[in-house]
Structure 1
Amino acid sequence: MNQVDVVKATTEAQNGDEIVRERIICHYKPYALNTVGHICKKYVSWSDEEASIGLLALNKAIDTYEESKGRTFLNYVYLLINRDLIDFFRKEKREQHLSLSAENELLLEKDQSLLEYERSIQTSNLVEEILELSEALKSYQIEFEELEKFSPKHNDTRENLLELAATFTDDVECVQQFLQKRQFPVTLFIKKTGYKLKTIERHRKYIVTLILLRLNPQWTQLSEFLQKGGNA
């Protein structure tokens, strides 16, 4: 969904078209959740209160977005999520009777995070690549939000899985089955390469993601980001 499509869709939603509103929300939910995770600097699932705040901010953005203000829709969504999370953190801090200095330190950190992330949006196609990968993963019964949880923590493991994905995509038969059946052809791959079933099963979701990245070289920003183990 490009900027022109977003402007048209948000206008229709603001005029009462609830079907269009749901379409916008469905399309940008992965972006909202990953924005929340980026700001909170932790893994966030839809069961977390912070994720609900992000989703409400997305809905609020649909209601109040104006292209004439000079911001893209995604930057505006980020601003609202960031603002609402800061309000949430402030409330939590007050309830826990933490010091004002600690609160100010948190707010400063969030403001710096906002500047860094806006710069990233303005200089790359990372956001759209995330949305495209999210759609691709769904056909393999994988949610983009799961990736941080299942990403390997150690560099040597990550390197081994990158090598495994490269071996896989070099095999035409494996790739054909992968694309046609929308699943990892475990038996075929093990027979051809000797990789252990335990390794594949333990890291299947991350491996599928790496394979999709190799099969879609146009996702340059996202490929570098995920393979380094970064937070989306």
Structure 2
Amino acid sequence: MQTMQQVARAQQDRAFLEDFLKESQPFILRAASRCAGFAVTRSDDEFSVALFAFYEAVRTYDAEAGAFPAWARLIISRRLTDHYRAVRRFSSEVPLAPQVFDGAVESDDADAEVQRAVVEKIANPATATAAEEIEAANALFAPYGFCFYDLGKCSPRAEKTRKGCAAVVATLLHTSDLFRQLERTHTLPVQALAQHSGVKKKLIERHREYIIAAALLLRGEFPTLSAYLQTIRKEVASCGL
């Protein structure tokens, strides 16, 4: 398993970090499966959440936290718990029987159609893996001067800040002129967004990369990575723009 030296290097060396994440995927899958209660695959939403969480664990790890594997499992468990809570709030909280994840659907159940949709998603081999989407996202983010692995430093932590970012993202997604300006200039129109959303410029500037990334991921074809944005997606929808 990962050594403290490897983690320390991954914190300083972006190229090594990317390789480290790829090499650690078996560990990430095991940790996610342990928390989810079923065998998580790379095409499951849980994997994308766990991958983000592992990246967060690397970035925030300190030797005082103890052994890194235990720290990573703790962060993965926390983020998956947050994810399930967000999914329940965002959806209609439809309960799914455990056998659904093995491809079994009870045709007499009231939620049989939902169960079939879940089975189809799990069985679909064309579903992009999180690693593939991260690679595509990096190509999309490059003109804006950041990459996927930079987002951990600028992601909002406080609920009030998350809601402020959500309001800005909603404004960006629902104001075509501003979104086209973003795509054309690769620069966030901070002043205009502040005026339209009512959010302070200072907050927008501080979380510039996160706001751009969230808008691009939600607008684009990133089903796996977008699943990690369940909370901000709900908040964006609640803005009513």
Q: TM-score range by the shorter chain?
A: 0.3 to 0.5
Query: When the two structures are superposed, what TM-score results if normalisation uses the length of structure 1?
Result: 0.47
Larger radius of gyration: 1
Query: When the two structures are superposed, what TM-score results if normalisation uses the length of structure 2?
Result: 0.45
